[in-house]
A = this chain, B = another copy of it.
Amino acid sequence: MGVEIERKFLVTSDAWRKQATGSVALEQGYLARSSGVSVRVRIHDGSSAFLTLKSGGQALTRAEYEYAIPVADARELMALCQPNVIVKRRHLVPAGDLTWEVDVFEGRHKGLVLAEIELDAANRKIELPDWIGDEVTGDERYYNAVLAYR
């Protein structure tokens, strides 16, 4: 098990783009989200795939279990998720020893941009770039698992 400590924010401008060092196309679907656990299938750049289980509950810290699976399986599982699938491009923006992940949503959620940062401790202080807007950590409306069903 891993524990994911993550903060999430709205994004107010495109200023992050000049600092981005790379990106990955993500396609992800939710197989289930009952019992306080979400089950996600995700395909990275069409070439690798993962099954990820996350406990719900707490906002900032969530238990996370991730397993690599064959892309062919992931494609079939993704089909079972339709139409509750999210397509986005994740841009990486380095910030010292941390990395902002800026998710630019496509498809049904086009226009939505969210920035996430994974921390090594819940009380870790971070500097907020000026393109960062309101914090939405723990706001279920911005959970990908919830967006997928909207």
Contacts and interface: CB of A to CB of B under 8 A. Distances in A.
Tally of this chain's copies:
2
A124 to B, nearest CB: 24
Interface in A13-50: 30-39
A86 to B, nearest CB: 14
30 contacts: A1-B72, A1-B73, A1-B76, A30-B35, A31-B32, A31-B37, A31-B39, A31-B53, A32-B33, A32-B34, A32-B35, A32-B37, A32-B39, A34-B34, A35-B80, A35-B81, A36-B80, A37-B77, A37-B80, A39-B39, A39-B53, A51-B51, A51-B53, A53-B77, A55-B80, A63-B76, A63-B80, A65-B69, A65-B77, A67-B69
